[in-house]
Amino acid sequence: MANASIISDPSRDFSHIKDISNDKYLKKTEDILENIKFPNDFDVWSAQKQRDWVYNNLTELYQNMPDSLQNMIPAIFRPVDFDRSQEKLPEWMDMDKYRRGQKFVRDNYFSIIINIVMGAIYGFTFDDGLKTLILTRNSNTPYLSFIRYLSTILQMVTWYDGEPWVKGTKAYTDMQVTRAKHADINTKKSRITKEQVNAASKITNPLCSEQKLFLKDITATCPFENPE
The last residue of a domain, from among 48, 77, 106: 77
Segment 143-166, tens digit of pLDDT? 888 898 888 888 988 999 999 999
- Domain-embedded: residue 134: yes
Residues 188 and 100 occupy one common structural domain = yes
- Domain-embedded: residue 170: yes
For residue 68, give Cα distances in angstroms to 71, 73, 110, 224: 7, 11, 28, 19
Residues 183 and 113 occupy one common structural domain = yes
Q: Residues of the chain with pLDDT > 70: what percent? A: 71
- Domain-embedded: residue 161: yes
Residues 72 and 110 occupy one common structural domain = no
pLDDT band at 2 (very low <50, low <70, confident <90, very high): very low
Residues 65 and 126 occupy one common structural domain = no
Residues 136 and 186 occupy one common structural domain = yes
- Domain-embedded: residue 167: yes
SS3 sequence, the chain? CCCCCCCCCCCCCCHHHCCCCHHHHHHHCCCCCCCCCCCCCHHHCCHHHHHHHHHHCHHHHCCCCCHHHHHHHHHHHCCCCCCCCCCCCCCCCCHHHHHHHHHHHHHCHHHHHHHHHHHHHHHCCCHHHHHHHHHHCCCCCHHHHHHHHHHHHHHHHHHHHCCCCCCCCHHHHHHHHHHHHHHHHHHHHHCCCHHHHHHHCCCCCCCCCCHHHHHHHHHHHCCCCCCC
The last residue of a domain, from among 47, 77, 107: 77
- Domain-embedded: residue 83: no
User: In which domain, by residue range, is 168 found?
Assistant: 95-202
- Domain-embedded: residue 56: yes
Q: Is the pLDDT reported for residue 9 higher than 90?
A: no
- pLDDT for the residue numbered 66: 76
pLDDT band at 18 (very low <50, low <70, confident <90, very high): very low
Residues 148 and 68 occupy one common structural domain = no
Q: Is the pLDDT reported for residue 107 higher than 50?
A: yes
- Domain-embedded: residue 4: no
pLDDT band at 228 (very low <50, low <70, confident <90, very high): very low
- pLDDT for the residue numbered 95: 93
Number of domains in the chain: 2
Segment 175-215, tens digit of pLDDT? 999 998 888 888 888 888 888 888 888 877 777 777 788 77
Residues 72 and 113 occupy one common structural domain = no
Segment 63-101, tens digit of pLDDT? 677 777 766 666 665 667 777 888 999 888 999 999 999
